[in-house]
Chains A and B, each alone.
Chain A
Amino acid sequence: MSPTATAFDIKSASLDLLALLLKTADADTLNAALEARFAVTESPEPFVLDLEALPEPEALDLGRLLPMFARRGVRVVALRHPDEAFAALARRYGLAFAPASSARLAEPAAPAAVEPPRAPEPPVANTLIVDKPVRAGQQIYARGGDLVVLSMVSAGAELIADGSIHVYSHLRGRALAGARGNTAARIFTLAMEAELLSIAGVYRTIEQALPASIAGRPTQVYLENERLVMSALGD
């Protein structure tokens, strides 16, 4: 695997923030209020600045307010307002933007007590799993997702997926991943003996014998600079 692929992972995370609900846009009034509440400068805490309660949020001078907050240890990381138009304002100051209403947070947890907390619906994975041999003349298409084949794929069979293709046996037929143009799709197999490989329309017929490190061995296929690259899997 290339080093760039292991440089980072993306995972979902949630962060508890304090919200600062502004009641006025007037910088001087705010400064006085901050002085009263945050007399001692503590280590900075992340805050989300909630503008929903503000009568005239347009009048807000963030250029002046943000350094003022920072001096008091209020590190503003995001803006919140139901109107999406404020996203531009947030972007200008390098802040994240949250359109969610603050009402949800302000509400007590009473309804939750009545209704038992439900696990969130798992996201739908459009993975097609095939556990039977794919024989000559058969064609399998995984629309909008990955295709996983647990049995062998014979010569003359055709696998197509909008995502990646995984074959946990011999791949002797054709494999076309990224059928709708996903150039990040890959093809994986435990025994590479394919007739034709394609990713996002870049294809290669395999007429010559493959190098010994790949032929009949665990292999992955991916696109690099619009060229198909086959590399041995594992060590």
Chain B
Amino acid sequence: MARIIVVTSGKGGVGKTTTSASFASGLALRGHKTVVIDFDVGLRNLDLIMGCERRVVYDLINVVNQEASLNQALIKDKHCDNLFVLPASQTRDKDALTEDGVERVLKDLADMGFDYIVCDSPAGIEKGALMALHFADEALIVTNPEVSSVRDSDRILGILASKSRRAVNGAEPVKEHLLITRYAPGRVDKGEMLSVDDVKEILRVPLLGVVPESQTVLQASNAGTPAIHMNGSDVSEAYKDVVARFLGEDRPMRFLDAPKVGLLKRLFGG
């Protein structure tokens, strides 16, 4: 049975699409047949991050409107054989998403034998975000260690608990995971950023992982390669940990402390 996972945050620019791309790639690297869907209709970005923007012919809205089949719209990832991308439409807006249409697309994907369906939610709490989270079984709440991001995540958690299909039907609630991204331990030590413990204390959601702030993410985006493929980087390691923990492995949290600065580096600058 396919698991539907929404990557959401409320606030924009916190790393939802980066996380969707790396998380879906990580699941595929671990051998699970995975599809990642861009729900940001009108502002599609996932195809850029995944480096498949020039191969987009049909999109989610075409499939929702039955103008194209899933097989025509799904784009095979260039890194992983068992990962597919379902891009958003650039020319439409979110009103083109209908609940019935999205439900049918998700069901058809499940029938195609996908293990995981990752839904990359747009920012905000409007229709696109609601459609992305409505059918979710699990949710990755992407949060930056900063008060407005945490507040918006809290809002999205409330919507998950009241408007998701599981909530509406009174089924087992959506399983929530907290993912803190753009974490800079040095700035936490200086009191410029909320700490992991602060965020956990406010949101009270099990922590799935912490992804450090890194230049690697920008380089990866520009290269059209999900950051998890930037082997050797801390971001790649962090996302691999996240996927492993999601799949039930026990991995200690990393990248929580500022790197020690050596005496010479402190004297002469880094």
Contacts and interface: CB of A to CB of B under 8 A. Distances in A.
Interface of A: 132-138, 152, 154-157, 172
Interface of B: 125, 151-152, 154-155, 157-159, 161-162, 173, 202, 204
Contacts of A134: 158
A155 B151 contact: yes
Contacts of A138: 158, 162
Q: Could you tell me the dominant secondary structure of chain B's interface residues?
A: helix
A156 B161 contact: no
Nearest to B161: A132
A157 B158 contact: yes
Given A132-B161, A154-B154, A157-B158, 5 more contacts: A135-B158, A137-B158, A155-B154, A156-B155, A172-B202
Contacts of B202: 154-155, 172
Contacts of A133: 157-158, 161, 204
A155 B158 CA distance: 12
A133 B204 CA distance: 9
A5 B142 CA distance: 49
Contacts of B125: 137
Nearest to B173: A132
Nearest to B202: A154
- List the 9 shortest-distance A-B pairs measured between CB atoms, nearest first: A135-B158, A136-B154, A136-B155, A137-B155, A138-B158, A154-B154, A135-B154, A135-B157, A136-B151
16 contacts: A132-B161, A133-B157, A134-B158, A135-B155, A135-B157, A136-B152, A137-B125, A137-B154, A137-B155, A137-B158, A138-B158, A154-B158, A155-B202, A156-B154, A156-B155, A157-B158
A157 B159 CA distance: 12
A153 to B, nearest CB: 11
A157 B157 CA distance: 12
A157 B162 CA distance: 14
B204 A136 contact: no
B42 to A, nearest CB: 24
Contacts of B152: 136
Contacts of A135: 154-155, 157-158, 161
**From A134, A137, A155, A156, residue with most partner B Cβ within 10 Å:** A137
B151 A156 contact: yes
A135 B139 CA distance: 16
A134 B158 CA distance: 7
B229 to A, nearest CB: 35
A172 B162 CA distance: 20
A132 B176 CA distance: 13
Nearest to A135: B158
A173 to B, nearest CB: 10
Contacts of A172: 202
Contacts of B204: 133, 152
Contacts of A136: 151-152, 154-155, 158
A136 B204 CA distance: 13
Nearest to A172: B202
A172 B150 CA distance: 14
B174 to A, nearest CB: 12
Nearest to B158: A135
A132 B164 CA distance: 15
